[in-house]
Amino acid sequence: MNISTLTLRQAVADYRGHVLLSWRSAVIFLLAWLINVSLGYELGLLDTLGFFCLLSLLERVSRRAFNVTLIGCAVVAAGYFPFARTYGAPNFNSILSLYSSNPEEAGEILRVFPLWYYLVSLTILALTILLLLRPRRAFPRWSIWHSALLTVFSVATLLNPLNKLYSDGQFSLLNVSYPVFRFVKDLTLINMTVSSEHQRMQTLATMQDNWHVLAVKPAQQIYVVVIGESARRDAHGAFGGHWDNTPFMSHANGIRFNNYLSAASSTQQSLGLTLTLVGEDQQPQFQNNIITLAKRAGFRTYWFSNQGQLGHYDTAIASIAKRADSVHFLKTGNFISQDTQDQDLLQFTQEALADESEAPKLVVFHLMGSHPKACERTHHRYATFVQNEEVSCYLYSITQTDNFLAALHQQLQDSGKRFSMIYFSDHGLAFKERGSPAEYLSHNDQFLQNYQVPLFMTSSGERRQRVIKALRSANDFMSLFAEWSGIRSREVVPRYRFISEQKAPAAFVTNFAPSRIDYHQLAQDPFIALPESPNQTAWR
């Protein structure tokens, strides 16, 4: 082989190394797209092209910078893809959840995701490793390709900031639209906001309440509040669901509220707005809650929980619970690590019933209910097969809560004391991968059903069933609590009679942002009884 042939082959190889249309460039482009879509943001073609140009330019200019950037972005994208598919881009609620979660809860959430989510994550990592293991290509110091890549990247980078300049009159590079950049920016800004809110909650949790009680006229000796978890109203037979899975609530005498809405679509936000006095700034005053109001009124208070207590005041709900005179957490120091059932809470009822003091009592039960993963709640048992095992378990988890209410009601009846009991859920869930074999339910804030939850009331001596169809909101729960318990205070001023058909003001709910939004503007996510689903009953 002569020197001219070798020179020609080297020239061809160099040319192939410089051009964009090669298998390596195709893999980089694919990775640029996968990384961007894995972060939960709406993705435009220009963003993918711009990020591809950045990676390609770094490969030509600095191999080390290319490796570091690619590895960092790929690892984050691979780890976040399942969460992006389920919860979307980072938001206030998702970061807030990190403050009240632990490895056990995270492990359970990871088991909810379909297998193909993890296959996509593995694909991202595999393609990254493939690029890193291939021999480095040789590039000239600068060429027309470098200039072209830099130009396209610059245009894609500046387009959105320039649009904002044109529309709002302000130019800022913080408006760059690349998902990778937005992910880092949002994580930073949201974490600052959540940290500030968490600190505010911690401060308020240790403050003395400032209730001014005007009158106390309880009609009952015992008042019981049962807080459910992740229970959609349309999954309850008693509230119009397709399945007869709530025999107690369906047949018990009492009041069913068929148009009750949760305050928000996640536990901490929802219960913070539901169980506390909310100020003019729309922020919960955690020191002023149902427990401290009841204690001010002379009630004996109890809080029994099957949810986790991570510390003394680690979550908003724990801060409320710890104000009670008697507190029991089935899970101490963990959330999911201990195999406890809601039924285990019934062992504590006798403590409240055995107290012979003349003071009225407020007893709160906080359930695990239907928290994802539902099959963990039911030990993979279900009564009717609907779509797949997870959806079937979810329906049966509703039955388990109904059974809990029936057993608790019996305990209260057997005590011979006058009592009243309220049950509601903190929020609903939304369907993911609807219609596929991997269909499951998860937290969401985009649909009506994320806020449509059951509210049921019953009392000793109740003689009939009633249905209230008027719109009711958990944002007014303190008004219901005052009306129900007979406690009047200067701070709680009802805008209408909650237990009536009286028309209420327009309903607003709080999304993940968090922002107050018009409930009626949300989309539908119905619990559909699929005709092709096999009609079978099974106990697993």
Report mean pLDDT in 10-residue bins for the chain, 540 residues: 44 46 86 95 90 93 92 96 92 79 65 92 96 74 84 90 83 88 93 85 85 97 98 97 96 98 95 95 93 98 86 69 94 60 96 91 97 93 94 97 98 96 98 92 96 98 95 98 98 96 95 94 87 46
Q: How many residues does the chain have?
A: 540
What 8-state DSSP symbol labels residue 388? B
pLDDT number for residue 417? 95
* 510 strand-pairing partners: 264, 516
pLDDT number for residue 145? 81
pLDDT number for residue 450? 98
- Assigned token pair, 208: 């003395």
Residue 479 near residue 502 (C-beta atoms within 8 A): no
Closest CA to 78 of 30, 135, 38: 38
The domain limits of the chain are 12-191, 206-521
Distance CA 236, CA 26 (A): 50
pLDDT number for residue 174? 84
Quickly tell me which residue has 């959840």 as its tokens.
97
Residue type, 179: P
Quickly tell me which residue has 């029991």 as its tokens.
328
Quickly tell me which residue has 């985009």 as its tokens.
446
Q: What b/e string do you get for 435-470 counting C-beta neighbours within 10 Å, with b at 16 or more?
A: eeeebbbbbbbebbbbbbbbbbbbbbeeeeeeebeb
Closest CA to 469 of 237, 239, 230: 239
CB atoms closer than 10 angstroms to residue 499: 14
Residue 51 near residue 35 (C-beta atoms within 8 A): yes
| Top CATH class, 206-521 | alpha beta
Residue 43 near residue 179 (C-beta atoms within 8 A): yes
Quickly tell me which residue has 């510390």 as its tokens.
311
Three-state secondary structure call for residue 528: coil
The gap from C-alpha 488 to its chain's centroid, in whole angstroms, comes to 34
Longest dimension (CA), the chain: 108
Closest CA to 344 of 261, 400, 275: 400
**pTM metric for this prediction:** 0.88
pLDDT number for residue 248? 98
Quickly tell me which residue has 């020609």 as its tokens.
8
